[in-house]
Amino acid sequence: MYVKHTFSASALALVLSLAAASAQARDIVMGLIPAENNEEMVQKFEPMRAHLEKKLGQKVKVYTATDYAGVIEGMKKKRVDVAWFGPLSYYLAEQEAGAEAFAVGIREGGTTHTYKSLFVAPCDAGVKSIKDLKGKSVAFVDPASTSGGLMPTYMVKKETGMMPQQFFGKFTYSGSHDAAELAVKNKTVDAAADNDITYEKMLAKGLITKETNCVVKESDPLPGSPLVYRKDLPAATKKKIRDAILNAHKEIKVSGYGNLSHYVAVAPKDYQMIRDMVKDLGLKKNDLLK
């Protein structure tokens, strides 16, 4: 009986060891929200994907979706291990999928990871304030976008006492920040919400100009868009991922959303401002994951 018991224990240990090795060897999946078109997002994050793959010694694949909710759902179903989210989509992933923020990019020449939401309108439209947009056609980006959803909603409510759906004549979502800017340039909307990262990038590329797209209003600073991982990943794996990202600038030219110099550590507490805005506006998860 003793020998049989020893064999069974050994067999069980071998099975568990093989299972652990198999789990460790599987591909790591990085999710990217479609802040801009998916092809461009994948291209921007490629240096970081390749660096992470090298440091982990595991294949790292990229997952994209047609909207922000798709990447959140991917993490919820444990098909996504690491992801780049905006502050609001991170908050939702925290609620839905146990996401944990660990790093955020610092723009070149800057010292902070913050950015701003913008209201942009055609320069010849005579729009000088949010109040001028009453009854007008306005595009936000996505219900789960921070600078293209949450913050402009907060700004409209604060200035007018009304939600965007009530205040604007026609309210739509463009799907991405660059699409919102192009809608303004082409005058298919009277105004749109964007952020200062995409706005400056599109100016630099000549896709818009300060004569076509004028900033009507800018927000208070928002906490930067974080890299996150699932809380339930092994502690050792999370440490490897975190160390690889935070030290990447020592080995490569880091990349991400905007022109970045390096990544710094952040924690869930750094995004309390987002939780407070969601609460103040009385928004529910179903409102944000449409």
Average pLDDT, the chain: 91
Residues linked to residue 211 through DSSP beta bridges, in sequence order: none
pLDDT tens digits along 9-23: 444 444 444 444 444
Beta carbons within 10 angstroms of residue 49's beta carbon: 18
pLDDT tens digits along 152-202: 999 999 999 999 999 999 999 999 999 999 999 999 999 999 999 999 999
- Per the CB < 8 A criterion, the answer to whether 134 and 276 are in contact is no
Residues 6+ away with beta carbon under 8 Å from 209: 203
Alpha-carbon span 143 to 287, nearest angstrom = 7
The token pair that represents 256 in the structure block? 């991400």
The token pair that represents 265 in the structure block? 């550590």
Q: What region, left, alpha or beta, does residue 7 occupy, with left being phi > 0 and alpha being psi -120 to 50 degrees?
A: alpha
Q: What region, left, alpha or beta, does residue 258 occupy, with left being phi > 0 and alpha being psi -120 to 50 degrees?
A: left
> DSSP characters for 3-38?
HHHHHHHHHHHHHHHHHHHHHHHSPEEEEE--SS-H
Write down the number of H helices and E strands in the chain. Answer: 11, 11
pLDDT tens digits along 212-247: 999 999 999 999 999 999 999 999 999 999 999 999
**Class (C level, CATH) for 117-218:** alpha beta
pLDDT tens digits along 39-97: 999 999 999 999 999 999 999 999 999 999 999 999 999 999 999 999 999 999 999 99
Residue 124 to residues 121, 187, 190, 210, Cα–Cα distance (Å): 8, 10, 11, 11
Give me the CATH code for the 2-110+225-270 domain, please.
3.40.190.10
- Tracing tokens 């919820």 back to the chain, one arrives at 76
Domain ranges of the chain: 2-110+225-270, 117-218
Burial class of residue 104, CB neighbours in 10 A (0-12, 13-18, 19+): buried
Beta carbons within 10 angstroms of residue 274's beta carbon: 22
Residues linked to residue 101 through DSSP beta bridges, in sequence order: 228
pTM beyond 0.95, yes or no:
no
pLDDT tens digits along 276-289: 999 999 998 887 88
Burial class of residue 47, CB neighbours in 10 A (0-12, 13-18, 19+): middle
At residue 24, φ and ψ (nearest 5 deg) are -65, -35
Looking at residue 25, its pLDDT comes to: 58
Alpha-carbon span 179 to 37, nearest angstrom = 8
